[in-house]
Amino acid sequence: MISRKCIVTGKILPINQLIKFVLLKDKTIVLEKDKKIYGRGAYCTNDPKIIDDLFRKKYLNKSFKQNILPEIYNQLREEVDKYVKNKK
């Protein structure tokens, strides 16, 4: 089974327990829902507390080595909330 490291906890987990964010070539960040987007990826454990930490402490800034605007974080947060809710 393929595994990746969570950027929040540092734990290595199977990818089916993680949410992936992708930095595209045009520097936009998207939530990968169907495992078909290529680009630099950052993984976060699919757990509400860890997802809260991801957005509260802005871990994506460090992973993608850039300052991400608050509006982008808010947009990504809404997408993640919808995705997690529909996935259950």
CATH number of the domain where residue 14 is located:
3.30.1230.10
Number of folded domains in the chain? Answer: 1
Dump pLDDT digits (tens) for 17-54: 999 999 999 989 999 987 788 889 999 999 999 999 99
Which among 52, 65, 67, 66 is positioned nearest to 19, based on CA atoms? 52
Residue range 50-75, pLDDT digits in tens:
999 999 999 999 999 999 999 999 99
Please give the pLDDT value at position 66: 92
Range of the domain at 68: 3-87
